[in-house]
Chain A
Amino acid sequence: MSPTFRVQGPEAGRLSLFGPLTAQAPGRIWKALLARRDLRGTLTLDLGGLSALDLNGAAQLLWLRETLGGRGLAVSFEGLAEAYAPIWRLAENSLGPPTPPPPQPDAISRLGRLATEFLADVAALIAFLGELLPRLAGLALRPWRGRWTLTLRLAQTAAVDALPVTALVAFLVGLILAFQSAMFMKLFGVDIFVADLVGLSVVRELGTLLTAIVLTGRSGSAFSAELATMKTNQEIDAFLTMGLSPTRDLALPRVLALTAATPLLTVLADFAGLLGGDVVMIALGHPAAAFWTELSQHLDASDVSTGLFKAIVFGFTVAAVGCQRGLAAGSGPEAVGQAATRGVVSNIVILAALDSLFAVVFYVLDW
Chain B
Amino acid sequence: MSWTGDPPDGAWPLEVEDLTVAYPGGPALLERVALRAAPGEILGLLGPSGCGKSTLLRHLVGLERPRRGRIALFGRDLWADEGAQMDLLRRRFGMMYQGGALFGDLTLLENVVFPLREFTDLPLKAAEAAARLKLSLVGLAGFEHSQPASLSGGMRKRAAIARALALEPKLLFLDEPSAGLDPVTSAGLDQLIVTLARNLSLAFVMVTHELGSIMTAVDRAVLFDRELRGVAAEGSPAFLASELAGPQAAAFFRRAKLDRGAQSRLKAENGHF
Task: State the CA gap A63–B123 with chains docked (Å).
Answer: 10
Task: State the CA gap A55–B161 with chains docked (Å).
Answer: 14
On whether the beta carbons of B116 and A23 are closer than 8 Å, the reply is yes
Instruction: Kindly state whether residue B50 has any CB partner on chain A within 8 Å.
Output: no
On whether the beta carbons of A98 and B144 are closer than 8 Å, the reply is yes
On whether the beta carbons of B133 and A91 are closer than 8 Å, the reply is yes
Task: State the CA gap A24–B132 with chains docked (Å).
Answer: 18
On whether the beta carbons of A27 and B105 are closer than 8 Å, the reply is no
Question: Given that A28-B121, A90-B195, A332-B148 are contacting pairs, would A99 and B142 also be in contact in the complex, using a CB cutoff of 8 Å?
Answer: yes
Instruction: Kindly state whether residue B4 has any CB partner on chain A within 8 Å.
Output: no
What 1/0 mask marks residues of chain B from 141 to 159 whose CB sits below 8 Å from any chain A CB? 1111101111000000000
Interface set, chain A 317-362, CB cutoff 8 A to B: 330-335
On whether the beta carbons of A60 and B130 are closer than 8 Å, the reply is yes
- Residues of chain B lying within 8 A (CB to CB) of residue A54: 168, 200
On whether the beta carbons of B133 and A59 are closer than 8 Å, the reply is yes
Instruction: Kindly state whether residue A118 has any CB partner on chain B within 8 Å.
Output: no
Instruction: Kindly state whether residue A86 has any CB partner on chain B within 8 Å.
Output: yes
Interface range, A side: 35 or more
Instruction: Kindly state whether residue B137 has any CB partner on chain A within 8 Å.
Output: yes
Question: Given that A60-B126, A102-B145, A332-B147 are contacting pairs, would A23 and B136 also be in contact in the complex, using a CB cutoff of 8 Å?
Answer: no
Closest to B146 in A: A102
Which one, A23, A87, A96, A99, contacts B122 given CB within 8 A? A23
On whether the beta carbons of B128 and A55 are closer than 8 Å, the reply is no
- Residues of chain B lying within 8 A (CB to CB) of residue A27: 120-123, 126
Instruction: Kindly state whether residue A58 has any CB partner on chain B within 8 Å.
Output: yes
Interface set, chain B 60-104, CB cutoff 8 A to A: 104
Instruction: Kindly state whether residue B125 has any CB partner on chain A within 8 Å.
Output: yes
- Residues of chain B lying within 8 A (CB to CB) of residue A299: none
Instruction: Kindly state whether residue B167 has any CB partner on chain A within 8 Å.
Output: yes
- Residues of chain A lying within 8 A (CB to CB) of residue B136: 94-96
Q: What does DSSP make chain A's interface, helix, strand, loop or mixed? A: helix
Instruction: Kindly state whether residue B134 has any CB partner on chain A within 8 Å.
Output: yes
A91 to chain B, nearest CB (A): 6
Task: State the CA gap A164–B134 with chains docked (Å).
Answer: 55
B163 to chain A, nearest CB (A): 13
Closest to B122 in A: A27
A-B contacts counted at CB < 8 A amount to: 106
On whether the beta carbons of B199 and A86 are closer than 8 Å, the reply is yes
Task: State the CA gap A54–B202 with chains docked (Å).
Answer: 10
- Residues of chain A lying within 8 A (CB to CB) of residue B28: none
On whether the beta carbons of A23 and B168 are closer than 8 Å, the reply is yes
Which one, B120, B126, B132, B167, contacts A98 given CB within 8 A? B132
On whether the beta carbons of A59 and B126 are closer than 8 Å, the reply is yes
Closest to A93 in B: B136
Interface set, chain B 164-185, CB cutoff 8 A to A: 165-168
Question: Given that A22-B168, A94-B133 are contacting pairs, would A334 and B126 also be in contact in the complex, using a CB cutoff of 8 Å?
Answer: no
- Residues of chain B lying within 8 A (CB to CB) of residue A64: 126
A276 to chain B, nearest CB (A): 44
Closest to A34 in B: B123
Question: Given that A30-B126, A60-B126, A332-B148 are contacting pairs, would A95 and B168 also be in contact in the complex, using a CB cutoff of 8 Å?
Answer: no
On whether the beta carbons of B133 and A95 are closer than 8 Å, the reply is yes
Instruction: Kindly state whether residue A8 has any CB partner on chain B within 8 Å.
Output: no
Supply 18 further A-B pairs (C-beta < 8 A) apart from A55-B130, A55-B168, A333-B105: A24-B120, A25-B120, A25-B122, A28-B121, A59-B130, A59-B132, A63-B125, A63-B126, A66-B129, A86-B195, A87-B195, A87-B199, A90-B137, A91-B133, A98-B144, A102-B145, A332-B105, A335-B149
